[in-house]
Amino acid sequence: MKGFPLPAALRRFAGCLLIACLGVSSAPDPGKAAVWPPQMALGGHLRAIGSVAHLETDSAQRVVDRDPYLDGQAELRLNHRLQAGSRWAMDTHYELVALAGDTLESRSASIGAGAGLPRGYLPQTGVDDRRRLWDLTGNLSETDRHLVYQRLDRLHLSYTPDWGSLRLGRQALTWGDGLIFNPMDLFNPFAPTAVQRDYKTGEDMLHLRWLLGAADAEMLYLPRRDPESGDLREDQGSTAVKLHLPISGLEVDLMGARHYADSVVGVGGNGYLGAALWRLNATYTQVADGSVADNYLQLVANLDTAWMWRGKNLYGLLEFYYNELGNRGDYASALADEVLAERLARGEIFTLGQYYLAAQVQVEAHPLVRLDTTLIVNLWDPSGLVQPQLLWDLAEDWQMILGGQWHWGARGSEFGGFTVDSPVDPQRLAPADRLYLWLSRYF
């Protein structure tokens, strides 16, 4: 799509939102003076990202025969809020992103050659709006080695009365208490190895929240399109409710959802164990049009705490994750499972095994410097990855992140690399070790 055209229906919708936001600002809140003209706030960031990745010689992901893979990315994000009174607001977040390098070329070559990499293992680049209600992404320039695109990542109207809140439009929402793995977060969860978690990719939805004293209830409706036909389909969307209750010193969540035609129920809770905070979440998914054997349980339990040691602030996290949909060692068979492969491709599940243990330690070496190390281990293999990072606030509104990701494990293990059949020759899927540098300027 050349440029950034907005469909006529979307232009009308955006206009209605703006008119509503401006119009209601003239009606004063009870006991409060109206705000006119509406208040505006602008923020965002400029960011540059560079990475160096090493892929093993026989890795199927190494479609372009080059080592190391070099990639770069530059992005501008503009966050605008129009506040009308104390109850109404409209948020618009714009992104302009340019990326280039060997990963893009590898993806293009893989698709062109029909390499047949399993879904979820093809290098991901850019953002695809084919499933979303509105296509708010426009490619400005694209070749085999570079991509420049712009998009709206947020576009929603908010109403915040005394009884709760109502948001309509493109927005982000996170449910669940998982800190590295989060099965209760059905809507664009972060990958366990995400470098930065400041913004989730927005979805077009209606979100409603009621305050019920110390409790609250949430409801959402998220329509989606079929990625092939472009038609809105009920079996592609999501409808969910969640109830949050304080019970005997615990915080309890109950969730029910219809998600891509699957039925999902979830329960979660958290509380204190001494100075540490524990969390436990479980979801059970009944797969639509599947057998009882396709249904699966996911569970995450974690414990985290902060303490002082030799005058330094430290933080520690330990998390266990169980995924019944995964496989105990036969990862080629796991990828052949359509139920798992579909969720890998949608970015809802990120691993192939069943049992994982994750740990993270953060050390504040200086008020402006923090050292983080994350470890994720497949307990069945065993194999895993380690991800150390240095976060340095270089100056006011400037931040640098320098980090890496290294994998370990025997051949045949999930993180050590395993072989799958293909129409041409057997392929070995082995994750890449990499170094990365993020430089961000916030405003």
HEC profile of 75-104: EEEEEEEEEECCCEEEEEEEEEEEEEEHHH
The beta strand positions in 352-429, using DSSP E, are 355-366, 369-378, 383-395, 398-408, 418-420, 427-429
pLDDT confidence of residue 437: 98
| 4: confidence class by pLDDT, cuts 50, 70, 90 | very low
Block residue for tokens 């966050």:
79
Q: Which residues contact 407 (CB under 8 A, 6 or more apart)?
A: 383, 384, 385, 415, 416, 430, 431, 433
Instruction: Count Cα atoms within 13 angstroms, Cβ side, for 55.
Output: 22
Quote the pTM value.
0.88
The amino acid at 316: G
| Residue of 321, 426, 431 lying closest to 380 (CA atoms) | 321
Q: Is residue 395 over pLDDT 50?
A: yes
User: What one-character DSSP code corresponds to residue 335?
Assistant: H
* Phi and psi torsions of 343, nearest 5°: -75, -30
Report the alpha-carbon distance of residue 291 to residue 306 in Å, rounded. 45
Q: Which fold has domain 8-442?
A: Porin (2.40.160)
What is the mean predicted confidence (pLDDT) over 86-109?
92
What is the mean predicted confidence (pLDDT) over 409-435?
86
| 112: confidence class by pLDDT, cuts 50, 70, 90 | low
The pair of structure tokens assigned to 82 is: 């129009």
Report the alpha-carbon distance of residue 263 to residue 243 in Å, rounded. 17
pLDDT confidence of residue 357: 98
What average pLDDT is seen over the chain? 89
Q: In the chain, what are the helix, strand and coil shares in percent, each to the nearest 5?
A: 10, 50, 35
| 17: confidence class by pLDDT, cuts 50, 70, 90 | very low
Residue 109: beta bridge partners?
none
